[in-house]
Amino acid sequence: MTAESKPLHFLQQLVKADLEAGKYPKIVTRFPPEPNGFLHIGHAKSIWLNFGLAEQFGGVCNLRFDDTNPAKEDQLYVDAIKHDVSWLGFKWAGEIKYASSYFQQLYEWALHLIREGDAYVCDLSAEEAREYRGTLTEPGKNSPYRERTIEENMVLFEKMRAGEFDDGASVLRAKIDMSHGNINMRDPILYRIRKQSHHQTGDTWCIYPTYDFAHGQEDAIEGVTHSICTLEFADHRPLYDWLIEKLPVPSVPRQYEFARMNVNYTVTSKRKLKQLVDEGHVDGWDDPRMPTLAGLRRAGYTPESIRKFCDMTGVTKANNLVDVAMLEHAIRDDLDKNAPRAMCVLHPLKVVLTNYPEEKTELLEAPGHPNREDIAARSLPFGREIYIDQDDFRVEANKKYKRLVLGKRVRLRNAYVIEAHDYLQNDSGEIIEVHATVVENTLGKNPEDGNKPKGVIHWVAAHDCVDCEVRLYDRLFNDPQPDAGDKNFLDALNSESLTILKNCKAELGLQKSKPTEPYQFEREGYFCLDSQANTLVFNRTIGLRDSWAKIKDT
């Protein structure tokens, strides 16, 4: 999880102290997502933390789906979450757990609360319940149904279970204190009626426990020792503890909270992410612009870079906003060290090397990676006609321009020095072809006449390359806090978050690429083969440099 020399964060300190004190024989953590959407970068922090703590201290971590709300859940999300956790490199203990597997036990514990006088069936409407609840500064007032007898509550709850009441007609509430300073303790709902089929249990149940009721009891059933939640659950901890105390649970877990990871230039509300998908603002949950793990994976992010990012941001008790540039740095650093190199011309411009024989071709060798001998060298076909990028040629240019200029020289990367002497234009005045000559004896060395080239450009051979599509993805939002306050996050959508380039020209070897396999397209950025395309499509993962940073011209 972290290097041994790195100071322990507060949760590591807690676990270490508990183990040294003999409080537990081993720690048990859990990652408990609700399967109502795809996991996002914020969930990655929780995955990394829960599984990482278990790994570091010789414990285990359960993957448990808190599937208590069938109206919003789907097997599609269950499968996606399992894939994401595995992809990040973590292994859960034993079989996957489901809250729905405990529904019978939870139901029996609800009956226990009723028999002990700690729960009652309430018939207030949702609107009435809000009125009775009170506010942060004013106490609530008791429901008129609060003093029903134990026998009456048992009968009514059984009728709820049998499906005799409509959705919303009744709920089961804990009997705690309607004047409590913590609103979560003002007779919270434990069960509600949902006559909807469940993705795991089918039509077995028509009442479902709330997350607040199920959470702690699931932890207790599984022997969880450290139930780690984000800070918004701190106010729910008294209820968590109250229920553990009131019920005959097999173990006593403890809840601890840490600050969730909020990243700028993103939204991580599942509701808002679903809205982006449903309204067609993006191409599904795995659109490379989405902050979902599926989207990051399709964009070319690696598990190592995401785990590194989680480590970089630290574990604290104070909420803060993390700069997305840290995530971009993590993937850029990872790919710089590990991605094989290749050349791809995004805006092709043909160059005819007029002094190179028409029938001649040769194979040049280029390193697979400048610092990695374990990444195989690649062969580059070379011939009379090549493609360079349109931006790499100008008829006239100032001294700052280090590429091909009419009458000037430039080096082709891993190949010869060439000198431009002519060009062709179409009827619109656009340059469509450049004529140049190869400077002799410049393969791997400078010209013998001492006239050195000013720069280096990338290229591919026209006779032996592959056509491909390149998608230039950028940040989905142009506002660092797109949903802050009363903002409509859709107003902050970046209209330039996707640029599609057709008929790009790439090294022939790229046609053997595997989905999400990373490459550095030299001088362009980091790319990977799109996992959802039927043709050769490359997605930009990240540029070579931070294009969003304010860089002064020098």
Q: Which residues contact 158 (CB under 8 A, 6 or more apart)?
A: none
Backbone angles phi, psi at 513, to 5 degrees: -65, 150
Active site residue 34: yes
Asked whether the beta carbons of 119 and 113 are under 8 A apart, the reply is: yes
C-alpha distances out from residue 27 to 8, 224, 301, Å: 17, 7, 31
Catalytic residue among 30, 45, 270, 308: 270
* Beta strand pairing call for 348-353 and 385-389: antiparallel
Give me the DSSP letters along 14-26.
HHHHHHHTTS-SS
CA angle 140, 141, 145 (to 5 degrees): 130
* Beta strand pairing call for 189-193 and 171-174: antiparallel
Q: Which residue has the tokens 């990373």?
A: 518
Q: Which residue has the tokens 């002990």?
A: 116
Active site residue 245: no
Q: Which residues contact 144 (CB under 8 A, 6 or more apart)?
A: 124
* Distance, CA of 21 to CA of 13 (rounded, Å): 12
What is the end-to-end Cα distance of the chain in Å, rounded? 41
For residue 39, which of 285, 343, 203 has the smallest C-alpha distance? 285
Catalytic residue among 72, 246, 260, 272: 260
* Distance, CA of 32 to CA of 421 (rounded, Å): 66
* Distance, CA of 318 to CA of 43 (rounded, Å): 17
Asked whether the beta carbons of 478 and 494 are under 8 A apart, the reply is: yes
Active site residue 270: yes
Q: 3-state class of 440 per DSSP?
A: coil
Q: Which residue has the tokens 């918004």?
A: 232
For residue 327, which of 41, 519, 3, 2 has the smallest C-alpha distance? 41
**Computed from CA positions of residues 226, 227, 233, 237, in that sequence, does the dihedral angle turn out positive or negative?**
negative
Backbone angles phi, psi at 452, to 5 degrees: -75, 150
* Distance, CA of 530 to CA of 537 (rounded, Å): 6
Q: Which residue has the tokens 């790195």?
A: 6
Q: Tell me the two tokens of residue 240.
A: 């968590």
The residues annotated with a catalytic role in the active site are: 34, 260, 270
